[in-house]
Amino acid sequence: MEAESDALIRFLATERGLSEAYQLSVRQTLDALAGWLRRRGSVLREVGTEELAAFLSQRKREGLNAASLRITTVHLKVFFRWLAAQGRLAMDPAEPLIAPHPDQALPETLHASELTILLESIDPAQPLGRRDLAILELFYAAGLRLSELCQARLEMMDFDEGFLRITGKGNKTRIVRVGTKAREALVDYLKNARPALVSKRTSSHIFLSVRGTALSPDRVRQIVKERAAQAGLAQNVYPHLLRHSFATHLLEGGADLRVIQELLGHADIATTQIYTHVDRQRLKAIHKQFHPRG
């Protein structure tokens, strides 16, 4: 099936304009299928749905996880649909195949008490304390992505009403609520710390480095990790963990999932639903711990 594989890759490159990485991924799947067929003494025109299912089962036994099997199934569907459309096969044997749903890892979170320890461990009077406290408070109060926090500018903030206008994934703008504690930390930082960081090349970005430039994502990650270590937290703490904690704690407090979806800027409610699994896991753990017959 080498000629057919080459022809499909050319089609994906020239007609579909797909990336080299995608082409390589498809090629790897087709090479694996070709090797499997050779070992069985089979040829491409004899392949049916049962054979493809057996190939996928073999790949699973070899250690492919659900996400990789899903990608492999999609590649097979692309290949055999194209072969049938080209008249190289009488029918598409991959059409009945069902791609497995990938295992969905539950997001990590911090307990509310751990977040309190983290936030209260920062002394605003210490160098950069006001800035770092404002960063952590805003992450947790608004559920921001790392890129969204780094791109936040002064003109995006409504301090009177406590709202921040940000641009997230897909260049979509949304309004997020900034809670009382986060707003107090921001006002304190902007009044008493940010002016000392301003230089000739300073822009309107809210969070500045010691050189007066906008903080980079790598530097913000480092700040979060350093502050968590100083607070004595054993868990690996990173910006997106604070976003997960924001959503999980809202759900635990009774917030509607649609509201959480809007606050997070998720285009699809299915993305937000992962937090319902986190909440169910918490309820199961509580039941097991405290119920006499748990």
| Catalytic residue flag (residue 200) | no
H helices within the chain, ranges in order?
A: 2-14, 20-40, 49-61, 66-85, 112-120, 129-142, 146-151, 180-192, 194-197, 217-230, 239-252, 257-264, 269-272, 274-290
Question: What's the 3-state SS for 216-280?
Answer: CHHHHHHHHHHHHHHCCCCCCCCHHHHHHHHHHHHHHCCCCHHHHHHHHCCCCHHHHCHHHHHHH
| Catalytic residue flag (residue 60) | no
Residue 247, token pair as written in the block: 């959503």
Of the CA atoms within 13 Å of residue 120, those in its CB half-sphere come to 6
Q: How many CB atoms lie within 10 A of CB 84?
A: 16
Given 240, 282, 284, 288, the catalytic residue: 240
Given 130, 194, 205, 243, the catalytic residue: 243
Q: Residue 101, exposed/middle/buried by CB under 10 A (0-12, 13-18, 19+)?
A: exposed
Spatial CB neighbours of 93, under 8 Å, sequence gap ≥ 6: 47, 48, 49, 51, 52, 80
Given 145, 183, 194, 227, the catalytic residue: 145
| Catalytic residue flag (residue 249) | no
Given 169, 258, 277, 280, the catalytic residue: 169
Nearest alpha-carbon partner for 185 in 114, 229, 122, 127: 122
| Catalytic residue flag (residue 275) | yes
Given 70, 174, 177, 266, the catalytic residue: 266
CB 30, CB 80: distance < 8 Å: no
| Catalytic residue flag (residue 240) | yes
Which residues are catalytically annotated? 145, 169, 240, 243, 266, 275
